Amino acid sequence: MKRKRLAVIPARSGSKGLKDKNIKLLQGIPLVGYTIKAALDSGIFDIVMVSTDSERYAEIAKKFGAEVPFLRSESTSGDRPTSWDVVKEVVEQYTEQGHKFDSITLLQPTSPLRSADDIIQAHKLFDDKDANSIISVCEAEHSPLWSNVIEPNLSMEHFAQTDDNVSCRQQLSTYYRLNGAIYIVNDKALHNIENLYLEKSYAYIMEQSHSIDIDSEFDFIIAEAILESKRLEVKKASDNI
């Protein structure tokens, strides 16, 4: 049986920075639940699966509608393997079951504000460009030209750049940063992942408000504030009908 589009949501249980981050409640919903819902609501995927090393995480993922046909192997359950190591293992497992995919999408659960429409539009770009990979980015909050290292003695002597081209904020080019929300690859790119950003790789630009990447308690606070603001906007619009 051929299944064309696969979404892989990696959610291991051993988060060191923030305990059980991937199932931590965000407005009453486990963090991973937001990504599962966005993936399912997009209607893009033949399979939405969560890759985890935890039976507890697996049960939570299944309640939100994701498939968890197997747990991670020991070799991909630690903190050293990359997300792409996890994705490759998942694809190998499905290949052994006779499934082949035209695209594989990595959706990290730490990007709960990524919308179903973001996923749809990123895949449209993938198809329109006949791309090997699509990588989501957002506009950088600050230009890197306004940043520098600080000397051990805290001297600011050489911190500021004096080039006339960077002295005026309005004259600076727009810079973008990776936001970690959406990665789409075909089979060729998956097996040549070290060159992901080279041949036929394109950026999908997302709004900053959709690009929160949760890694700390402070990031949770920001995400809570954005979600609450959206909830109040919806309520206000409903009250005005």
Question: Collapsing DSSP states into helix, strand and coil, what is residue 200?
Answer: coil
Between CA 215 and CA 178 the distance in angstroms is 15
Distance (Å, whole) CA 131 – CA 11? 27
Single out the catalytic residue among 72, 80, 169, 177.
169
CA distance 70 to 48: 13
- Extract the tokens encoding 108: 């990290």
User: Secondary structure of the chain: what % helix, strand, coil (to 5)?
Assistant: 40, 20, 40
Active-site residue flag, 169: yes
CB 13 within 8 A of CB 20: yes
* Strand residue runs (E) in 60-107: 103-106
Give the C-alpha separation, 107 to 99, whole Å.
20
Could you list the active site residues?
A: 169
